[in-house]
Amino acid sequence: MRGEGSGLALTTFEPKITAIIPAYNCRGLLDHSLPPLLQMKRQGEICEVIVVDDGSSDGTAETALSLGAQVVSCEQRRGPAHARNQAAQVSLGEILWFVDADVVAHSDAARQILGVLNNHYAAVFGSYDDAPRARNFFSQYKNLVHHYYHQKIRGDVSSFWAGCGAVWKQIFLNVGGFDAVRYPRSSVEDIELGYRLKEAGGRIRHVPELQGTHLKVWTSWKLLTSEIRDRAIPWTFLLLARGRISDELNISVTERFRAVLAWTLPFSAALSLTGVTPWWTFAAFLSLAFAASLELFALFKRRNGMAFALGAILFHQFYYIYSTVVFCFCWIIVKVASLKPSSATLTEDSESGLSVPIDKV
């Protein structure tokens, strides 16, 4: 059957699912993430589990084979986008289920995927659960924020997430798969794929019940590097190139309002400290910022207590501030590039992670 007006073929029979895991030097992670998938295979819920060894040097391929997965090996590291594309080409399933190597899928994940994709959808994705394994501050903060944003959305979306997301194989191939040239390392290749799926007429659904436990350990440096270099900068250029910003996830209108509130904090603090305004001015804006993120604060508190919740909400205000700075920085670059006679378009520099005018590459 075809999605109405989409031109994208969708089948109605019980399809086969191929689980695809891109892996680079993550031998220890596979001991946790592969067993649930292999159990689903034994139960007949998925037909194969393919691990793509992206040029690892730690025995990742050998570990995957010993656990019972199929292995596709890349001679050199080319990033998860390329790895997923390689597996898609040799997969047997009609559905491609992408799972990160550091995600332990819940036991009902395959059933959640089938329930949606058999109902006229091109793709589906879920979220991390609210119980990340790593207990340090930044791991808990990062994973709970991701869980919060993904659990807030319901129904059809315009994006995609490859941490635990599935798509019909034929539709995936029809739109060209992940853009491995533009995204040679883990970045926003899944979001960009989602935009192309949507533009091709496919429907994408987020399912809150489709979840996995995240194993990654985040440090402050890893978090900021990933958030700014690998996410905020390329995502902003992608949004600016599209000419529109979706009202969903962490770029929704509500989130933009919260970012404005976050920016009042350093200014009101400076004014209060210099005596220009009374002390309670800063306290009032801080209270407003906390009130605007009360649901997130409640999640932080429920999972890790009051002290963590207070620290995490304060750090989240910093997230709003640096995200706004990145957006403005990218916007200026785009505006300057548009003033040049060559009308240069933007492409991503694979070395720096920044998008630059294409005639300067």
pLDDT at 333 over 80: yes
Phi, psi of 22 (to 5 degrees): -75, 135
Give the pLDDT mean for 315-343: 87
**Rounded alpha-carbon distances, angstroms, from residue 276 to 206, 262, 266, 283, 286:** 48, 20, 14, 14, 17
Instruction: Tell me what pLDDT residue 291 has.
Output: 93
Tokens representing 84?
A: 């997923």
Q: Residue 330: CA atoms inside 13 Å, Cβ hemisphere, count?
A: 25
The whole-number pLDDT of residue 342 equals 55
What is d(CA 160, CA 191) in angstroms, rounded to the nearest whole number?
5
Q: What is the pLDDT of residues 66-125, one digit of tens each?
A: 999 999 999 899 999 999 999 999 999 999 999 999 999 999 999 999 999 998 999 999
More confident of the two residues 50 and 245:
50
Residue 134 DSSP SS3: coil
Exposure of 256 by Cβ count < 10 A (0-12 exposed, 13-18 middle, 19+ buried)? middle
List, as one string, the DSSP characters of 307-343. Answer: HHHHHHHHHHHHHHHHHHHHHHHHHHHHHHHHTSTT-
Residue 360 has pLDDT above 70, yes or no: no
Percent of the chain with pLDDT over 90: 73
What does pLDDT average to over the chain? 88
Joined tokens for residue 167: 């798509």
With the C-alpha atoms ordered 189, 192, 194, 200, is the resulting torsion angle positive or negative?
negative
pLDDT recorded at residue 1: 33
pLDDT at 248: 65
* 200 pLDDT higher than 60: yes
Q: What is the pLDDT of residue 247?
A: 63
Query: In angstroms, what CA-CA distances link 102 with 50, 148, 162, 226?
Result: 15, 19, 12, 15
What per-residue confidence (pLDDT) applies to 7? 43
Can you tell me the mean pLDDT for 182-200? 95
Q: Is the pLDDT of residue 59 over 70?
A: yes
pLDDT(222) > 90: yes
Return phi, psi of residue 190, to 5°. Answer: -75, -40
Residues 6+ apart with CB under 8 A from 20: 50, 52, 84, 87, 88, 91, 96, 97, 98, 99
* Contact (Cβ atoms closer than 8 angstroms) between residue 193 and residue 178: yes
pLDDT band at 354 (very low <50, low <70, confident <90, very high): very low
Backbone φ and ψ of 157, nearest 5°: -135, 170
| Higher-scoring residue by pLDDT: 348, 140 | 140
- CB neighbour list of residue 270: distance below 8 Å, 6 or more residues apart: none
Measured over the CA atoms of residue 84, residue 85, residue 90 and residue 92, the dihedral's sign is positive
DSSP 8-class letter at 98: E
Distance CA 34, CA 26 (A): 11
Q: What is the mean pLDDT of residues 287-297?
A: 93
State mean pLDDT over 3-13.
44
pLDDT band at 6 (very low <50, low <70, confident <90, very high): very low
Q: What is the pLDDT of residues 227-282, one digit of tens each?
A: 999 999 998 899 888 887 776 666 778 888 899 999 999 999 998 888 888 888 89
What pLDDT score does 306 carry? 97
80 alpha carbon, distance to own chain's centre:
13
